[in-house]
Amino acid sequence: MPVIKIVLIGDGGVGKTAIRERYLGKGFRSQYLLTIGADFAMRDDTTNGIPVRYQIWDLAGQQRFDAVREVYYKGALGGLLVYDVTRTDSFFNTPKWINELWTHNSKGRVPIVLVANKIDIKGSTDDTVSSEQGRIFTNKLSNLTKSEGFACNYIETSAKTGVNIQAAFSLLGENIMNFADYLKKVRLPTNSRRSTPQRSVTKRHWS
């Protein structure tokens, strides 16, 4: 059974742990203990009709864990990049997380699914990220990765209600496996690719 390492990344408090727990079938809690650097879980699933084992690393988003996170990226084949739709700062910080993943995973650019979480409370504050903003950013991100054989995707979720949680993991898994097939066709092993992105993602990609 293939083992696929993925990371859950994004600012602290955006709901990464709640998303992971919901995916693992543990339900939703309104409060979680602060992730201490990283938390780890595994789940068997089926992707593209193939049984796979997801190795899920939930990385703490607080700045004090910046140095600790680097080691946990190594070997990651993709990531769910989560932001809180009621906090624009968590959306505007997404380039930082993309660059961290692509720089430290030892494989270069790998598939990312941009996850707009907490849609169950969307509109509850004036500080709201629109669906259009998320899609525009993801399309621009895909323009950077299409030459590498994959696109990045956007999905809206609610860890509280469970909306699209399974779909987010399935979408990432499909992208990773399709990307692996692409690399086989072009005979470009993942370990021969650049270990750092050719171009970093910056805030200008939002506009």
Which residue ranges make up each domain of the chain? 3-206
pTM of the model: 0.88
Domain topology for 3-206: Rossmann fold (3.40.50)
Residue 201 confidence (pLDDT): 73
Helices (H) and strands (E) in the chain, counts: 6, 6
What are 118-162's pLDDT values in tens digits? 999 987 888 899 999 999 999 999 999 998 899 999 999 999 999
Q: How far is CA 20 from the centre of its chain?
A: 12
Read off the amino acid at residue 50. I
